Amino acid sequence: MTVRVRFAPSPTGMFHVGGARSALQNWIFAKQQGGVFVLRIEDTDAARNRPEWTEGILSALDWIGIARGSYEGPYFQSSYAGEHRAAAQRLYEGGRAYYCDCTREDVQARTGPQQRGYDGFCRDRGLEPGEGRALRFRTPDEGETVVVDLVRGEPTFENKLIEDFVIARGDGSPVFLLANVVDDMSMGITHVIRAEEHLPNTPKQQLLWDALGVKPPVWAHVPVVVNEKRQKLSKRRDKVALEAYRDEGYLADAMRNYLMLLGWAPSGDREIVPWSVIEEEFRLDEVNPSPAFFDEKKLRAFNGDYIRALPVADFVEACRPWLTGTGTIAPPPWQPDEFDPAAFAAVAPLAQTRIAVLSEIVPNVDFLFLADPLIDEAAWAKAMKEGAADLLDAAIAAFEALESWDAESLKATLEAVGAERGLKLGKAQAPVRVAVTGRTVGLPLFESLEVLGRDRTLTRLRAARVRLV
């Protein structure tokens, strides 16, 4: 039997990193089993769905390596409403479901506010279908439902504790639980790999599979993703959108490597591993069922390692969207015609070792492309203390006299200027750096001055000197 898995996101918001993790696990599992990965967009919640969220999911999947055209779908759940209704009808006709006209208040009046769930009042009333009547599944009174789960063993649920749950609302529309099962069934899904949040639905869904006469899939409920406070990652509180990480300059390879470590680790004492190793070694039954900590600091460090490992030419290429501002990435502060690719190529190797996410390239190199540096006033106040004017005067004079404008000569020159004033190089550099780049930290100063060139460097030093008068 061919393994068929699906990833079934609801397009109701930005694409969640936890969702991306489940998608990758499905993807790898399908590949390992020689199976098929199906993408199904669960767009039945018309009030919350938006087409741009669907597009966001497709493009984010593409970005982490689940490329459009290389999977089956996307299918849209809303196209199968007829099948969902037909299944509800079959369950009703087979006596597996019944109509119910109880309101929540009715139920509470009978059971008291403490008891949760439906009390089965309409089970044997034989109500006909009708406006405002919900269809409820008749759960078995006895026995238990054993969920075969590759991550969690065999979670077992007592049937008598499962309420007669609604499968179609009063207006006849089937609910998510049923639509999701019917689609999995008609798409021939053999393994449902999804987040732990859905585990409480699973016994109900498995009862639906049984009642519809089809063998249920094998389940795998992968761990919930939590923040440093052990709270489930939430889009209101935490940075959860895969797109946000992409636009900040995380590399797709770093991101997917990191996502796969949420609840699983490759062999040996290593975490940064080529994707081919992950594809080979990943095992669903090795996934740890406990909540997985999404550690943004660690991801950042990971990304820095991935950036440093790039060949310089690839790094230059990878930075391009932030240097030019493309798609959803904000444009840089300089004009397109101010950008100088040769100057960028000259400093790229210096920047590559210093940034952890690609968007950080912009503040590191903006001094090269802007007519005037963006002066950080706090940095200015810190660097331009007593003696700064005198130091700048001396540096300007010494730089003007330089025969060769190269990093080494610039350094020796400023070192000498500093020494004459009893200043170590670090102290002597500070006013020069702020005058030229606007900041107290950045790329190595003398290489930066070399690339910026004599005229522009001297112009900026003189401008700073004027400001100090």
Residue closest to 33 by CA, chosen among 282, 296, 339: 282
Is 239 noted as a catalytic residue in this protein?
no
Least distance CB 46 / ligand GLU (angstroms): 14
**Residues near 301 by beta carbon (within 8 Å), at least 6 away in sequence:** 356
- Cα-only R_g, the chain: 31
Grouping H, G, I as helix, E, B as strand and the rest as coil, residue 7 is strand
Residue 221 touching ligand GLU (CB under 6 A): no
- CA torsion angle for 351, 357, 359, 363 (degrees, to 10)? -40
Output 16 or 465, the one with its CB closest to ligand GLU.
16
Residue 204 touching ligand GLU (CB under 6 A): no
Residue 225 touching ligand GLU (CB under 6 A): no
Number of shown-chain residues binding ligand GLU (CB under 6 A) = 8
Report the C-alpha gap between 45 and 326 in whole angstroms: 32
Least distance CB 9 / ligand GLU (angstroms): 5
Give the bridge partners for 100, in sequence order. 134
Q: Taking a C-beta distance cutoff of 8 angstroms, is the pair 5, 190 a contact?
A: yes
Residue 8 touching ligand GLU (CB under 6 A): yes
Residue 42 touching ligand GLU (CB under 6 A): yes
Grouping H, G, I as helix, E, B as strand and the rest as coil, residue 109 is helix
Other CB atoms within 10 Å distance of the CB of residue 154: 8
Residue 10 touching ligand GLU (CB under 6 A): yes
Least distance CB 331 / ligand GLU (angstroms): 34
Q: Taking a C-beta distance cutoff of 8 angstroms, is the pair 381, 388 a contact?
A: no
Residue 9 touching ligand GLU (CB under 6 A): yes
Report the C-alpha gap between 134 and 59 in whole angstroms: 38
Binder of ligand GLU out of 31, 85, 198, 456 (CB under 6 A): 198
Residue 180 touching ligand GLU (CB under 6 A): yes
Question: Largest Cα–Cα distance in the chain?
Answer: 102
Stretch that binds ligand GLU, among 4-12, 360-368, 402-410, 424-432 (CB under 6 A): 4-12
What would the x/- binding string for ligand GLU be over residues 124 to 163, using CB under 6 A? ----------------------------------------
Least distance CB 351 / ligand GLU (angstroms): 39
Interface residues with ligand GLU (CB under 6 A) are 8-10, 42, 180, 192, 194, 198
- Catalytically active residues, by annotation: 235
